[in-house]
Amino acid sequence: MEAAAAMEAGRKLAARHPHGRSRTAHNMSSSSLRKKSDAALVRKVPVAPLRPVLANLQEVFLGTKLAVLFPAVPLAIAAQCFRFDQVWVFALSLLGLIPLAERVSFLTEQIALYTGPTVGGLLNATCGNATELIIAMFALVKGKIEVVKCSLLGSVLSNLLLVLGTSLFCGGVVNLGADQPYDRKQSDVSTGLLFLGVLCQSAPLLLRYAVAAGEHSVATAAASLDLSRACSFVMLASYVAYLFFQLKTHRQLFEPQEVDGGEGDAGDEEEPALGFASALFWLVLMTVVISVLSEYVVGTIEPTSQSWGLSVSFISIILLPIVGNAAEHAGAIIFALKNKLDITLGVALGSATQISMFVVPLSVLVAWIMGIQMDLDFKLLETGSLFIAVLVTAFTLQDGTSHYLKGVLLLLCYIVIGACFYVARQPADQDVS
């Protein structure tokens, strides 16, 4: 059977790369939502050649606690094909993206078990937020610049305030009688990069207001585009430096301590559950399905906005990021409940850093290649919200210990920012083709 072959290959890899089995906080968080597959039913299948295939399907589709949401995927496709109400297509597509995002994380980890920690870390650096990246690319193709900006901004805000706030609050309540320490070094690196990202995103906004005030005389649109593209290169360069720092020179800062016991902990999934070729095949297939559902989401967001009476910016900033990373976010909260805040911080801050310093500048450069004029000017309310979120998070994490009140403060900040975008009725679409 393929599972046996995969385990044997894993043992050989472990012997060859004794330090290649370390797992990132992102993978450990996602693993908290996985469950071990019961092979008893598969062994009872009378046709022997079918057993490996069924075991593979069982591992991929039933090896997660979110398997109950998989029916939303074919239902979303059917709703689109049979031209159901666009709101149903939007809602079903969002629900279908939740288990798909978790499975992409699982398959990325399976491939990383064969490639070693460096390549595995690079896979995490590119696939960790695959859902947001794919949605952004489809929105770019359709010229929905505001949807791209708002969804990426919302993902950063969600990670910094909602996910981290909920985790610190729940962890603090459950562990009232225990200290909740964490390593400040990792959070200092991430918040430093996030401040650089805020600076790069603020520069075009400041330039626009400086020109409007008559302090400088330049062609605002052209100068903003040039400045945004230059800042995007700076952001990508800093992200490459961050990856080198994380995967090579200071890897020990980003390797969470092994979690003792319990389902979904680090020691439970030492051996690969899938073969390399099988994991790669399913990863490609899941990415294609995510692309289909992402196209549905982008195409139906405006009818849904009108039907629900919500602005496109509110849906993009609040709803899309919550759903896109629901599995990862749930895992971060679970580890906070176990008093493993290093893993929680690795997930929340790592994901926010990846979106801010990789996906955002990549979107600007891809838009440039496509001939679309997308800049880093996220407007005053959006940029101000991002700056406040990064600042509050940095101050919250400065002492190396946590309690539930810190989580309450982060959550209240998220509620206030969400209320701002709820009442703001700016034009729903300012497309640039």
- Residue in the structure block whose two tokens are 């019961």: 38
User: Would you state the structure tokens that stand for residue 193, as one six-digit string?
Assistant: 């990069």
Cα torsion through 313, 317, 322, 328, rounded to 10: 140
Split at pLDDT 50, 70, 90, the class of 62 is: confident
User: What per-residue confidence (pLDDT) applies to 312?
Assistant: 86
Share of the chain above pLDDT 90, in %: 29
Q: Can you tell me the distance from the alpha carbon of 239 to that of 245, in angstroms, rounded to the nearest whole number?
A: 10
How confident is the model over 123-152, as a mean pLDDT? 83
Question: So where are the chain's domains?
Answer: 62-256+275-423
Q: What residues are paired with 181 via a beta bridge? A: 401
Q: Can you tell me the distance from the alpha carbon of 2 to that of 282, in angstroms, rounded to the nearest whole number?
A: 14
Identify which has the larger pLDDT, 1 or 400: 400
User: What per-residue confidence (pLDDT) applies to 353?
Assistant: 92
95: nearest Cα among 66, 60, 132, 129: 66
pLDDT for residue 2 is more than 60: no
CA-CA distances (angstroms) from residue 327 to 66, 70, 340? Answer: 8, 13, 17
Identify which has the larger pLDDT, 61 or 15: 61
Q: What residues are paired with 34 via a beta bridge? A: 64
Q: Can you tell me the distance from the alpha carbon of 386 to that of 125, in angstroms, rounded to the nearest whole number?
A: 22
- Residue in the structure block whose two tokens are 């976010």: 329
Work out the mean pLDDT of the chain and round it to a whole number. Answer: 80
Q: What are phi and psi of 156, to 5 degrees?
A: -65, -45
- Other CB atoms within 10 A of residue 300 CB: 24
How confident is the model over 183-207, as a mean pLDDT? 91
pLDDT for residue 414 is more than 90: yes
- Residue in the structure block whose two tokens are 């980003």: 254
| Confidence (pTM) | 0.82
**pLDDT for 220-279, tens place per residue?**
678 889 999 999 999 999 999 998 888 888 777 776 654 444 444 444 445 777 888 888
CA-CA distances (angstroms) from residue 432 to 147, 290, 373? Answer: 11, 25, 7
User: What per-residue confidence (pLDDT) applies to 366?
Assistant: 93
User: Would you state the structure tokens that stand for residue 362, as one six-digit string?
Assistant: 């990549």
Contacts of 219 by beta carbon, 8 Å cutoff, 6+ apart: none
Q: Can you tell me the distance from the alpha carbon of 419 to that of 413, in angstroms, rounded to the nearest whole number?
A: 10
User: What per-residue confidence (pLDDT) applies to 210?
Assistant: 84
Cβ 311 vs Cβ 426: under 8 Å: yes
Q: Can you tell me the distance from the alpha carbon of 144 to that of 429, in angstroms, rounded to the nearest whole number?
A: 7
Cβ 77 vs Cβ 95: under 8 Å: no
User: What per-residue confidence (pLDDT) applies to 149?
Assistant: 92
**pLDDT for 349-374, tens place per residue?**
888 999 999 999 999 999 999 999 89
CA geometry: angle 191, 194, 195, nearest 5 deg: 90
Split at pLDDT 50, 70, 90, the class of 208 is: confident
How confident is the model over 35-62, as a mean pLDDT? 69
Give alpha helix (H) positions in 213-340: 220-244, 276-308, 312-314, 320-324, 326-337
User: What per-residue confidence (pLDDT) applies to 429?
Assistant: 46
Task: Assign domain 62-256+275-423 to its CATH superfamily.
Answer: NCX, central ion-binding region (1.20.1420.30)
**pLDDT for 8-33, tens place per residue?**
554 554 444 444 444 555 555 555 66
Split at pLDDT 50, 70, 90, the class of 306 is: confident
